[in-house]
């Protein structure tokens, strides 16, 4: 006896769409998280700058950090390191010098080249900001395990080193 074959339901033709790789679906979320972090940091820097002096800008603090970290630098190097326009760098350096945060001296090799260094006042100012930042982060990471913090550090370091 022949048994009838079971009926196969009709499936409409659907164009093939490859699955979106998980990596691609994560990118918008990662970008959104970075955007929130950058907004938070910019807001803090603006507040710290204004607390020090109403005419000090976030760009000035960024330059001051680079100057301190490098020990000394030139305006041209700041333009390159921070990807900023020469006019902006020049205005900010002038303001930093007026506020007593940056010292400038011509180099012995070429008197036209000016080396910028952080003043003692700048070092004190930046150290104060670091203490405040540390407290802010300590509060934000209260519920994080040491392993979570280690993973964050490793991931951020890797991200920052891959700045091709």
Contact predicate 53/41, CB 8 Å: no
In angstroms, what is the C-alpha Rg of the chain?
Answer: 26
Q: Is residue 19 part of a domain?
A: no
Q: Is residue 130 part of a domain?
A: yes
Q: What's the CATH code of the domain at 65?
A: 1.10.10.10
Q: Is 56 helix (H, G, I), strand (E, B) or coil?
A: coil
pLDDT digits 0-9 by tens, 4-47: 665 555 555 666 666 666 778 888 998 999 999 999 988 988 88
Q: Is the pLDDT of residue 137 over 70?
A: yes
Q: How confident is the model at residue 100, as a pLDDT?
A: 95
Residue 23 to residue 18: CA distance in whole angstroms:
14
Q: How confident is the model at residue 14, as a pLDDT?
A: 61
Residue 66 to residue 88: CA distance in whole angstroms:
15
Q: How many domains does the chain have?
A: 1
pLDDT digits 0-9 by tens, 79-126: 999 999 999 999 999 999 999 999 999 888 888 889 999 999 999 999
Ramachandran angles phi, psi of 71, nearest 5°? 85, -50
The whole domain housing 79 covers: 43-141
Q: How confident is the model at residue 120, as a pLDDT?
A: 96
């Amino acid at each position: 006896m022949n048994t009838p074959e079971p009926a196969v339901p009709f499936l409409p033709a659907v164009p093939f769409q490859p699955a979106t790789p998980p990596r691609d679906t994560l990118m918008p979320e990662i970008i959104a998280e970075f955007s929130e972090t950058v907004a938070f940091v910019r807001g803090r820097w603006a507040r710290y700058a204004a607390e020090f002096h109403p005419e000090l800008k976030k760009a000035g603090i960024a330059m001051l950090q680079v100057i301190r970290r490098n020990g000394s630098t030139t305006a041209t190097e700041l333009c390159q390191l921070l990807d900023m326009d020469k006019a902006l760098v020049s205005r900010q350096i002038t303001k930093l010098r007026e506020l007593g945060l940056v010292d400038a001296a011509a180099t012995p090799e070429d008197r036209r080249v000016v080396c910028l260094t952080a003043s003692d006042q700048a070092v004190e100012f930046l150290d104060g900001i670091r203490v405040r930042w540390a407290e802010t982060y300590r509060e934000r990471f209260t519920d994080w395990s040491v392993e979570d913090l280690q993973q964050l550090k490793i991931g951020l370091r890797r991200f920052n080193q891959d700045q091709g």
